[in-house]
């Protein structure tokens, strides 16, 4: 069963940013309130000074502003701590993917030089004939797998790492081409790369998952699963 990875954003938190800005605006309002109050006291009419009741009311307003500021700052600190916790959890979960198998759409197969390599592919419809061609780095076809008739949907085939002459090929990344036909008409197909996750990299452009020596975006991965034991 594919592992489900929660979608956590390890980048800037818009909610935290909004609260920080709101706190700064409240700070400005408090300073403006104090300036107005001091100015009013300095410039009050000596013959008609500010009454105690009015002064108490304005101080009460100031107290309310102070309480709002403290509440606002507490909420900001809470969301900042929550953002750091989410980032730590995100990194912990993604790092735990190392050692799992990942599947991503790519016309390639990764052969480790020992075990048979799995080639996942998907057909848009039933095909009477399906042929998979495996090419080396120079673009030369080294192996052709004739699969015969295949149904619609996602499926897998094993490649033993041999060429068409039965010789063992070296480990590495090989290109894959698939040709499928039904009643003489071409059937569209997609090939996927399946391999072990060897490391995780956090970059400014996002999280990168390494499948062997290939780096892909975490969002491009379509399936993550436990490594499967294969026969020789």
pLDDT mean by block of 10 residues, the chain; 232 residues: 40 49 52 66 57 55 63 69 67 79 89 91 95 94 96 94 95 94 94 88 84 84 78 45
Task: Dig out the tokens for 84 from the structure.
Answer: 């750091």
Q: Where do the domains of the chain lie?
A: 14-95, 101-225
Supply 113's token pair: 């030089």
8 Å CB contact between 165 and 175: no
Tell me the helices (H) and strands (E) count for the chain, helix number first: 2, 12
In whole angstroms, what is the distance from residue 83 CA to residue 169 CA?
49
C-alpha span between 92 and 74 (Å, rounded): 27
Question: What is the maximal distance between C-alpha atoms in the chain?
Answer: 112
Q: Strands 172-182 and 108-111: what pairing? A: antiparallel
Structure tokens at 71: 């509440």
pLDDT of residue 202: 83
**What gap in Å lies between CA 152 and CA 155, rounded to an integer?**
9
| Predicted local distance difference test score (pLDDT) of residue 228 | 72
* Predicted TM-score of the model (pTM): 0.57
CB burial readout 195-220, b (16+ within 10 A) else e:
bebeebeeeeeebbbbbbebebebee
Neighbours of 9 (CB within 10 A): 11
Identify the H or E element spanning 191: strand 189-203
CATH of 101-225, one of 3.10.580.10, 2.60.40.420, 3.90.226.10, 2.60.40.4070: 2.60.40.4070
Alpha-carbon gap, residue 157 to 222, rounded angstroms: 18
């Amino acid at each position: 069963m594919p592992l489900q990875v929660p979608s956590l954003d390890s980048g800037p938190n818009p909610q935290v940013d909004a609260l920080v800005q709101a706190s700064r605006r409240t700070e400005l309002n408090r300073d403006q309130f104090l300036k107005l109050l001091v100015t009013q006291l300095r410039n009050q009419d000596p013959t008609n000074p500010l009454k105690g009741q009015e002064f108490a009311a304005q101080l009460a307003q100031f107290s309310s502003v102070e309480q709002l500021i403290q509440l606002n700052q507490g909420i900001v600190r809470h969301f900042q701590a929550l953002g750091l916790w989410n980032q730590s959890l995100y990194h912990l979960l993604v790092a735990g993917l190392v050692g799992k198998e990942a599947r991503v759409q790519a016309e390639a197969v990764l052969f480790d030089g020992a075990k048979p390599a799995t080639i996942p592919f998907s057909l848009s419809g039933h095909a009477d004939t399906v042929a998979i061609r495996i090419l080396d780095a120079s673009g030369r076809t080294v192996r052709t797998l004739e699969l015969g008739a295949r149904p619609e949907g996602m499926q897998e085939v094993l490649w033993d790492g041999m060429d068409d002459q039965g010789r063992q090929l070296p480990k590495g990344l090989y290109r894959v081409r698939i040709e499928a036909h039904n009643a003489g008409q071409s059937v569209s197909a997609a090939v996927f790369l399946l391999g072990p996750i060897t490391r995780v990299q956090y970059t400014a452009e996002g999280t990168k998952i390494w499948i062997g020596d290939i780096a892909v975006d975490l969002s491009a991965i379509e399936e993550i699963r436990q490594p499967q034991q294969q026969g020789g």
